[in-house]
Chains A and B, each alone.
Chain A
């Protein structure tokens, strides 16, 4: 590295590269279709679960709001989740029925959409966490991405036992992490709106 700068501490541990906002044109790099590009042969996008993927197929949908209550239409969302058995499958492969990672953008109808399966409970500390999806928010105006979790409102018992969810003292704050099941005639749909600031502000994590 560049020795004239203090980019490591006294023991030689390097400093992490600094974060910057993804900016308004993040779609060019990470959501090509939204920017108006043709897709490459293989893209990372909204369909985590294809036909034949094990587990309950669901849609996760939501919008992102700023401190004025206005839609954040240039947000890019990434999710990471376990499979229906509560295991994380590292390998991303669009040819397989299920991958645990996906991306979506709020550009077209102001909402992100993921087509996935409901994750199983993940082991932690001889306990089981409630089913959840890890969510990261990138956008213009966000200097370092915001990290949160989407839980499910029809998993009340598991939610009440979750060692991470229960770390949040205020029940109202806990509620900001609960995706709400919507009535649909098709596959179950859960709404997880993200409030960046102010009333109902979503809980964001450091880890």
Chain B
């Protein structure tokens, strides 16, 4: 008994973009407003899980050919690299710097190295969540 999932699939294809945009917004809002790497990562994996529910594992794996286990490693590298970068400048481990940088289009933007650490957290959360879900999903 195969059902026709056309409504679910079309809707999830549209909603996916909205969820991803909201996740990125949460990720960048983390410094001054509620949000941050953890929530953004969970929201992003939530969007991918929605696609997994609407389609099947093989289709989504074709759409995003990412090994999520590698993503965990990359995220941890970001975190440790941000922390270890402070050692080069003779300041204690995990010292963060920030400053106002003029970017084209954005104008005066205050950049903070904590954001790079947050990016690491973001990638690790996506990697861990998706690894757990895919491992459970693939085991018969």
A in complex with B: no
| Residues of A in contact with B (beta carbons under 8 Å apart) | none
| Residues of B in contact with A (beta carbons under 8 Å apart) | none
